[in-house]
Amino acid sequence: MASIVYQIDKKTGTKYAFESVSYWDKDKKQPRSKRKYLGKVDPETGEIIPSRGRTSHSEENTASGKDELQALHNEISARDKTIAELRRELDELTAQNEELLKTVKQIRAIVERL
C-alpha cells in the first residue's frame, strides 16, 4: 500500500514529500519501505511542487540547454584565444625586459670604469 510521507529538513525548514511503499523483507523478517521523491511542499498552499525528474525534460529545455552550452563553449574558446595572445605578449615583454636589464648592467659597468 502506498502513502505520502512528509519530511522536514531541520537546517532549512523545507518540507519534502515522498511516496512510501511498504514491503516485507524476508531476510530480516520485518517490514521495510521504499521511498520515491515527489517534490517540495509549498508552505503557503500545502501543495506538492513536483520535481523535474529525469524524463520530464521537454524538447524546449533540451534545445535551450544545448544553445546555452554552445554559447558557453564559444565564450571559453574566445577566452582561451585571448589567454594565448596575452601569454605570447608576456613572453615577448619578458624577453625585452631581459635585454634591457643586460643593457643596464653594461651601462653601469661602463659608468663604474669612469
What does the pLDDT average to over 63-86? 87
What does the pLDDT average to over 68-76? 88
Asked if 12 and 40 touch (Cβ cutoff 8 Å), the reply is: no
Task: Looking at the structure, tell me whether residues 95 and 49 fall in a common domain.
Answer: no
Residue 70: its pLDDT value, please?
86
Task: Looking at the structure, tell me whether residues 14 and 65 fall in a common domain.
Answer: no
Rounded to the nearest integer, the mean pLDDT of the chain is 88
CA distance 33 to 19: 10
pLDDT beyond 70 at 54 = no
Task: Looking at the structure, tell me whether residues 62 and 28 fall in a common domain.
Answer: no
Question: In this structure, what C-alpha cell is assigned to residue 60?
Answer: 524546449
Indicate the residue type of 74: N
Beta-carbon contacts of 2 under 8 Å, excluding residues fewer than 6 positions away, are 19, 20, 21
Task: Looking at the structure, tell me whether residues 52 and 94 fall in a common domain.
Answer: no
pLDDT band per the 50, 70, 90 thresholds, residue 1:
low
CA distance 24 to 26: 6
pLDDT beyond 60 at 61 = no
What does the pLDDT average to over 1-21? 92
Task: Looking at the structure, tell me whether residues 63 and 52 fall in a common domain.
Answer: no
Q: Residue 92 sits in which domain range?
A: 58-114
Task: Looking at the structure, tell me whether residues 106 and 65 fall in a common domain.
Answer: yes
Residue 111: its pLDDT value, please?
92
Confidence (pTM)? 0.44
What does the pLDDT average to over 61-86? 85
Residue 38: how many other CB atoms lie within 10 Å: 18
In the chain, the number of structural domains is 2
